[in-house]
Every structure is written in C-alpha cells, then in structure tokens.
Chain A
Amino acid sequence: MGKKYRKREMQYLLFVLPAFLIFMIFFFIPVIQTFGYSVTNRKMIPENTQFVGLQNFVRLFTDTPEFYIALKNNLFFTVVVTVIQSLIAFVLALALDCKLKGKNLFRTYFFAPVVISSVAVSLIWAFMYDPNTGVLNSLFDSMGLGFLRQNWLGDDRVAMFSIALVQIWQWVGFEMVIFMAGLNNIPRDYYEVAEVAGATYFQTLFKVIIPSVRPTILTACVLTTVGCFKVFDLVYIMTSGGPVHATEVIAKLIYDYAFSYGKMGLASALSVILLIVIMIVGFGQMYLLRDKE
C-alpha cells in the first residue's frame, strides 16, 4: 500500500511541477525581486547596484512632487469612477431585474465594451474629446449647451475626469452583470412580504433589496477600486500623463521611471507601494465581508 501511495504522490508532484515552475519564474520570483530592487539604486544596466535601504521610499515621500500628484489623481479617479459607475450599474441592474423583453440583449450590449481593447477605446474617446472637431463639443453646441464645451483632455482641470468617463463607459456593464447576479439571488418571497406589508418601491429598495445585496455591492466596489488603482492604458494612450502631470497616475509613473529613465530601484519602490495599497483594499474587503456573515 505504501509503495502504491508513494507512486501516486510522485505522479501528483509531476502534475504540479510545470505550473509551479512557470508561475515561480515568470510571476512570483519577479515580484520578490522587485521588492529586492526597491532597496537598491539599480539602473537599467545593473552594474554598480548598491543597497540603499529605504532611500527610494524616503525620496518618493519627501522629494518627488509627481508622486503626490499621481496619488491624488489615482484617488480622484477611483472615487469618481467607483461612485458614478456603481450608481449607474446598480440603477441599470435594478431596471433589468424583472421579466423584461430584451433583457438579455441589453445585458450583452452594456457588457460589450469590456471585450474591446483599451487601446481602441482610448483612441475612439480621444477622437470624441477633440476640442474643435470632437463629437462631444458639437453635440453640446447643437443642443444649445455650448457652455459645457471643454478642452476635455487638454485642460488640466477636467482631463482626469474625462479619463474617468472612459473607464466608466468601458466597465459599467461588468459591474451591472455582477449586480444583476446579486439581485437575482434575492428570494422572491422577500418581495411578496414587502408587497403584503404595503411597502412602496423605495421602501422595498432600501429595506429589502439593498441590505440583501450588500456583499455583492461591496465586492463590486472593491473590484472597481482595485481596477482604478491599476489604471495605465487609458492614461498612457490618451494623455500620456499630461498636460503637465495633470493626469499622472502611479502605474504610469512606474513605467516612466523604469523604462523611460531607467531608474529601476525607484520604480520598484513605487510598485511596492502600489502593491501594498491594493492588498489593503483586498484585505479590507475580506474583513468587511466576514464581519457581516
């Protein structure tokens, strides 16, 4: 028996090994190495790399104004996207939470932008945002709302918001689908009880529906938040961080430091910070969800 057992375990080991090795070499070890780089002054050419302790982190926090700008932009972007996107997604999910003709069609429609590459999405929106020939300004003009005209990506006061709108456009359907699944799981007798009690729609919404889908709402918000902290493509393609750092975000700074200026050490320190922020958000979700169940 022992021999047979050992033989089986050997086979299992061989099953795990290829996945394990690729995972280690191409993902896990690089993450650990990046932690290692973050305490060195490593450059693109790694000769003369020295241990510098926490100097990179100190430099980021005390001597790098772009870092604070990027952090502020990431936060602004995250709040705008999470709030607006979740609201629209929830309203849509509520509206579709019944036997409605064309329900599946709408679901497919709103989800479609998710499968379009962010490059295509960015270029389409950059075209629409063009201050002179873009469709947005001409739409406002033709509706007599000329005062809403903006230099969408060129004005440092609105550029970050403009990018947030693109993110919302692309991902609202995704959040909507998550909400729809959550709403679908509410037992139908809850509604019946509310109806018998003579509750209005809004009473049912706040007393029955929202409390029942709280975990779903939380999960969706965390997914959106994490996605927002990692935003890179939209910024890189549409504004490349400009005008003058007005749309700078952490992921874009990491890219610039590492691959434009070759400051691998500093860029790694910044990646470590981003990882920690995202981990906190993730653990925060787990903590909040456990508390309720």
Chain B
Amino acid sequence: MERMNLKEKLIRYIIVIFFAVIWIIPLYMAVITPFKSIKEIFRTVLALPQAWKLDSFLKVFQEVDIWHYLKNSFVITGGSVVILGILSSLATYAMVRSGSRLIKGSYLLFSLGLMIPTQSGMIALFNTMQSLHLYNTTAGMVLAYVGCSLPVSVFLYYGFLKSIPYEIIESSYIDGCSEWKIYTKMILPLSTSAFGTVVIYNAVNIWKDFTYPLLFTQGEKIKTLPIAIYAMKGQYVSDYPTMFAGILIATLPLLMIYIALQKQFIAGVTAGAVKG
C-alpha cells in the first residue's frame, strides 16, 4: 500500500476523475445558466456565456424578496439548532447520571424515536399545529423540528456523555454544587465537539427541509428558502436564467460554510445518519 507504483496511481486518478467529470455537469449548468440570456440557453446549451451578464441576478433581487426568505430560513434553522443543542445535552446528561429508572428509561423512548421516520407522524402533527395555533408560525416550525430531531441529538450526545470519567465531578458534589452548575460549568465546556456535531447535523437537515414548510406554512410570512425556490419554478416557467440565479443565491450560503468547515460537516452529517 505504501509503495504505490505509477501505474496504480494513474488508474486511481482515472477512475476518480472520470466520475468527477460526470458529477460536475449539474453544478456547471447551475453556475453558467444565470449568466446567459434566454435565447443563448436554447442555442448553445453547454457553452460558456458569450458575455457574463448579471441581469438575472438583479432581476431576482428586484422581484423576489430573497433576503426575507434567507432571514426566515436562518431564524428557523438557528433557533431549532440552538434549542436542540441545549435541550438534548441537558436531557442526555440527566439520563446518563440519574439513578432513577424512569429517567434512564426515557432513553429507550428516544431510541425508539430514532427508528421512526419523520413522515410517520406528519398527518396528526398537522392537526396538533393547528389546534395549538402554531400553524404558520416560527415558533411552531422550531418546535416541530426540535421534536423530530431530538432522538438523533440525544443519541449523538449519549455516547459522548457516557464516556466522560465522572470521578472528576464527584468532588464538586462535596463542594455542594448544584447539578445545573455542574452542567453549565463542566459538562457544556467539555462537550463542545458533540455540540458541534448535533448543530451541524440538524442545521443541514433543517436548512434543506422541504416537507415541513410545505405542510405547516403558508404565504410569504415565514416562507423558507426551499419553498421560495420551488415557487420560482412556477414564476419563471421558462426563464431559466432568472430561476437559476435564484437557486444559486439560495444555495451558496450553506455551500460556502460547508467548504469552509468540510471536515466537521462530513463528520456531522454522517454521524447522525442512523435516523430512520
């Protein structure tokens, strides 16, 4: 393995580059299309734009309130993720430390939740949202996301919090520290890596999610980016440059964060993949 000859290296590169070239076509189309005119798109599909026009981007910013949707996505995703990080670590800490069967046993319930796909409760959740007057509200979206993401988050924390050597903490009991103090002063600072995993895994899923906003929101008020892009499909039926300008603007924020933090993203997203 260590002494790789040139031929082997070449074969490996050929395989990877072959797929990389195929895989780039959709990305390439998404990037060049907004810079072309409509006529150009139909005449030369694959060619680079004759002149890199920015008209489509200007048009999208004028006609579509991207900032509003960006803000909505950010508030809902950010809110859900922060609440998830705190509530799940708090609950998991208690499950790991408690001597009571009731509290320990709640872990089993969360584990069961891990195996149930999110869609399974959607129909009844729709009624819950309406009867609690949470339909089409930011709070409602956040609570719905927190509810269905808690099992994975608890699962991600559990392994980590279980592995902490609690002998260090025992001494704090003698000093009369409350559990809250131990949690905020010792557990939270210790578990930043697990916190990061929980945040990244959930942030990616919630940011991308199409189904919950499709079911639980309506109109412009708290419309998130995925629904806004979907709406552009109808608004710019064959005006592909404008539609793709919108898609590009909506996709870039998360993609850039991903590129900056790729290691953490890949680790986070695959760590949570146990969810059914």
Contacts and interface: CB of A to CB of B under 8 A. Distances in A.
A108 interface: yes
Contacts of A268: 123-124
A114 B269 contact: yes
Contacts, number: 272
Contacts of A181: 270
Interface in B197-239: 204, 207-208, 210-211, 215, 225-227, 229-230, 232-233
A6 to B, nearest CB: 10
8 contacts: A19-B91, A23-B110, A26-B125, A95-B16, A99-B2, A124-B29, A127-B29, A139-B46
Nearest to A23: B150
Nearest to B33: A127
Interface centre among A116, A119, A121, A174 (most CB of B within 10 A): A119
Given A27-B150, A115-B265, A116-B251, A275 B88 contact: no
A76 to B, nearest CB: 20
Interface residues of B, number: 95
Contact of B210 (A119, A138, A178, A275): A119
B255 to A, nearest CB: 6
A139 B126 CA distance: 45
Contacts of A31: 116, 120-121, 124
Nearest to A178: B270
Contacts of B123: 30, 34, 37, 254, 258, 264, 267-268, 271
B211 A233 contact: yes
A34 B93 contact: no
The 4 A-B pairs at the shortest CB distance, nearest first, are namely A26-B147, A30-B121, A33-B124, A19-B91
Interface in A166-189: 169, 172, 174, 177-178, 181, 188
Interface of B: 1-2, 4, 9, 11-13, 15-16, 19-20, 23, 25-27, 29-30, 33, 41-42, 45-46, 87-88, 90-91, 93-95, 97-100, 102-103, 106, 109-110, 113, 115-128, 143-144, 146-148, 150-151, 154, 178-180, 183, 204, 207-208, 210-211, 215, 225-227, 229-230, 232-233, 240, 243-244, 247, 250-251, 254-255, 258-259, 262, 265-266, 269-270, 273, 276
Contacts of B230: 119, 237
A210 B59 CA distance: 53
Which secondary structure characterizes the binding site on chain A? helix
Interface of A: 5, 8-9, 11-13, 15-16, 18-20, 22-23, 25-31, 33-34, 36-37, 46, 88, 91-92, 95-96, 98-100, 104, 106-121, 123-125, 127-128, 133-135, 138-139, 142, 169, 172, 174, 177-178, 181, 188, 191, 223, 226, 230, 232-233, 236-237, 251, 254, 258-259, 264, 267-268, 271-272, 274-275, 278-279, 282
A183 to B, nearest CB: 11
Which secondary structure characterizes the binding site on chain B? helix
Contact of A9 (B12, B15, B100, B125): B100
B99 A9 contact: yes
Contacts of B90: 15-16, 18-19
Nearest to B28: A135
B202 to A, nearest CB: 13
B19 A100 contact: no
B13 to A, nearest CB: 7
Contact of B98 (A12, A92, A233): A12
A36 B215 CA distance: 20
B267 to A, nearest CB: 9
B97 to A, nearest CB: 6
B25 A108 contact: no
B117 A92 contact: no
B213 to A, nearest CB: 10
Contacts of B11: 95
A133 B255 contact: no
B45 A23 contact: no
Contact of B94 (A13, A120, A236, A237): A13
Contact of B251 (A120, A128, A174): A120
A114 B23 CA distance: 13
A98 B41 CA distance: 41
B20 A116 contact: no
Contact of B117 (A25, A120, A226): A226
A232 B88 CA distance: 28
